[in-house]
Each structure stands twice: as structure tokens, then as C-alpha cells.
Amino acid sequence: MPLVAPSVVASDWARFGEALEVMKAAGASMVHVDVMDGHFVPEISVGLPVVASLRRATALAIDVHLLVERPERFVKDFIAAGADWVSFHLEATVHGRRVLEQIRAEGAKAGLAASPAAPLETISELWSEIDFLNVLTAEAGIPEGKFIPATVEKLVAASKIREERHLNFALSAEGGLGPAHLEEIAGTGVDILVAGSAIFNDEDPRTRLTELVRNAARIHRTSVV
């Protein structure tokens, strides 16, 4: 069953504790955190102190997506702050393999994030080095970014590569996702669904997240029958 990882930065930043309670009550297993530096992407978001606070407040796995330039400067500190999974963009560094090694050396899952315009071919030498691939299904760093249907093909292609090469990396989809898009990505092999605005912009985030978790399980069962 795909895990649903709510993106905490889409919630009210003054009420992260309440957002964590919503996630736990709805059955989420992971909390996703987008870290943006204002350079790699235009937006600026949360940093190390927030990740450390989240770690103290929850037992949920913390998935940190680094949308920052030169991520090698930060991975060790984010893992020390509490990150369990860390992904970054290859175009943000010339030391991709080294960053993956850094992340693993610190005891976290090491992943790559692929923007909508980034071809999978850029990962060609690193498929066996990753624990997970985060395929962005909306433009990175854009609030309320819209789901891009063409990214479904990238999810399918990544899943096919995983199967053909007998690899076991997890496949994540992030960006613009809501209940209406679950049918579109059913059968792609995705393991983790990252959703933010579709949950926290709703009048009842707990009910919306519960429905998303339930529907992800239902669609997964349907896709494997």
C-alpha cells in the first residue's frame, strides 16, 4: 500500500503541532518537509530548527526534500536534526554520488528528486546508489503548483527501470497531488504519495487526509488485482 506523506510546510506554520496530530490520527506514516533556500528555487521555507522541533514532537518518519544549492553543505546537519529520509536534486551539485554516500553514512535513506523537466537519463549512473526516487509531479518551489499529467509517464518509466534492473528503491510522487489524481497514478508502482495543499487547505484536514490514505489503499488493491 502506498504511504501517504503529508507535506507539513503546506499547513499553518504557527500550528505544526496540530498538523502532526492530524497526520497521526489519519494514519499517515511519514511527514514530508520541503527545505527551500531562495536560490535553487525562488521560495524560502523552513530549516534545521523546524526539523529538530518536528523530531522532538513526533515518532513519524521525517522525509526531508532539499531544494537547495550545494546540498552537501547541509545533509549531515539535517540528519542530526532528525531527518530519516533525505533527497536532493542532481542539478544542485556536482557531487551527486558523494552526497548520496554522505546521507547513507549518517544513517538516513538517500534519495534523488527529479523535477518535471529533468530527464531520468541524468540518473543513469546512480540507479543502484539510491534508496528512493522522488518524482516531482508539479513544478518545484511553486506554491499551489498544479499536477502535471505528463509526469505519470516518468513514474511508469522509473518503475520499469526498477523492475528491469532488479533494484529495490522506493518511488515517491510529490506535487499537486490530491484525491482526484490517485486514479491517474494507479498502477505506476509508486510507493509514497506526498500531498500538501489538498490536505491542509481543506476545511477538515483530518477527514481529507483520512480519505486520501483510505483511497490510496483502495486504488493499490485495485491496481494489483
Closest CA to 87 of 118, 66, 69, 117: 66
Give the pTM: 0.91
119 — pLDDT class (breaks 50, 70, 90): very high
> What fold is seen in the domain 3-224?
TIM Barrel (3.20.20)
Terminal-residue alpha carbon distance, the chain: 13
Strands (DSSP E) found in 74-156: 85-88, 109-114, 132-136
- The pLDDT of residue 151 is 93
The C-alpha cell 553543505 sits at: 73
pLDDT in tens, 135-181: 999 988 776 678 899 999 999 999 999 999 999 999 999 988 877 78
pLDDT over 50 (residue 222): no
Domain residue spans of the chain:
3-224
